[in-house]
Amino acid sequence: MPATVLVVGGAGFIGSHTCVELLQHGYEVVVVDDLSNSSPHSLERVAKIADTAVPVLYVMDIRDRSALSEVFRAHPIEAVIHFAAKKAVGESVGMPVEYYDNNVGGTTALVSAMREHGVRRLVFSSSCSVYGNAVKVPLTERDPVAPTNPYASSKWLCEQILTDVCRRVPGMNVLNLRYFNPVGAHPSGLLGEDPRGVPVNLMPYMSRVAHGRLARLRVFGDDYPTVDGTGVRDYVHVMDVAEGHRVALQHLDDEAGMRTFNLGTGVGSSVLQLIAAFEDATGRRIPYDVTDRRPGDVAALVADPTAVNRAWNWSTSRDLAAMCRDAWHFQSRNLAGYAD
């Protein structure tokens, strides 16, 4: 019997790509998602790519404890991957209570259900934003954390909660993955990032400019202490992130307790470098204007991926050109996202 994995937030951007990866490697997948920023159609696409049945989907809020318990009762869940969270940095500044309630409350509800049902393996989605204004790059997992907004603080709080739970609950193993900037799409063009409304993140915004749905890109600041003054990030292909989760499942039992790993490539790219890579990969022009810095932004966040490379004998393999090509492929084939 294949192992059953509960993917919480499995209809979303990273979750859906991870479902493909798991199904293609013989796992049974059960999805819980409230569909607040995702579409159930993503799971139909997942099934098409993986050539399997559509994964079981429970549309619910994980803070609904009795409904969550029912899911654990109904399936022989061996491990959980927890993607479900609100994730817009700017929005979090204006809605701190909602962010803590959803992200922290969701995680405590999930961990309670896991404890109640004897499930002891969890892969948790954290974020490089916990590092805040990094004094140096690349960042190792031992560098200090200093969240600068409620979204990042909510992730850091979850990390602390999970650390305490692992100390207390015998046999509880958590892999805490701090993602850098996941972008791109499945190379089929069937699955990708389909944010509701106008995108806030660079790659989906740029894809819409390339397509003409948005007129011009705004480059938020060119006076950072970086290679060309624009913000530097470690963009990582979503298929590498998905693969990373599948590999993480195999390493959950390597060591007891809570372990933290960066999930990035180790390569930093500025906004202008990403624009140039996108233009090269797609043949499209990206008109842009340089504007003021975006509040809450930091100059540079780049992963040192050495720890994960060593621990799992695994590394990311897709470059910036593939990220741009695949993001554009999805965008150009799905003009209205999954609504098509």
Q: How far is CA 280 from CA 181, 236, 285, 286, in A?
A: 20, 18, 9, 11
Coil vs helix vs strand at 324? helix
Cite the DSSP H helix spans in 169-237: 202-211
From residue 160 to residue 189, the character string flagging contacts with ligand UDP as x (rule: CB under 6 A) and all else as - is: ---------------------x--------
By CB under 6 A, residue 233 contacts ligand UDP:
yes
Least distance between ligand UDP and beta carbon 92 (Å): 11
Active-site annotation holds for 100 = no
By CB under 6 A, residue 237 contacts ligand UDP:
no
Site stretch for ligand UDP (CB under 6 A), options 23-31, 117-125, 214-222, 236-244: 214-222
Give phi and psi for 236, each to the nearest 5: -130, 135
If the CB atoms of residues 60 and 146 are measured against ligand UDP, the closer one turns out to be 146
Least distance between ligand UDP and beta carbon 224 (Å): 8
By CB under 6 A, residue 205 contacts ligand UDP:
yes
Site stretch for ligand UDP (CB under 6 A), options 68-76, 93-101, 140-148, 199-207: 199-207
- Which listed residue (65, 294, 312, 337) binds ligand UDP by CB under 6 A? 294
Other CB atoms within 10 A of residue 317 CB: 11
If the CB atoms of residues 106 and 221 are measured against ligand UDP, the closer one turns out to be 221
Residues 27, 99, 131, 151: which is the catalytic one?
151
- ω before 138 within 30° of 0 (cis)? yes
Q: Point out which residues pair with 6 in neighbouring strands.
A: 30, 80
Q: Which DSSP symbol is given to 4?
A: E
Q: Check: CB of residue 307 under 8 Å from CB of residue 261.
A: yes
What totals of helices (H) and strands (E) does the chain contain, helices first? 12, 14
Q: Which chain residues interact with ligand UDP by CB under 6 A? A: 89, 181, 200-202, 205, 217-220, 231, 233, 271, 294, 297
Active site positions, annotated: 151
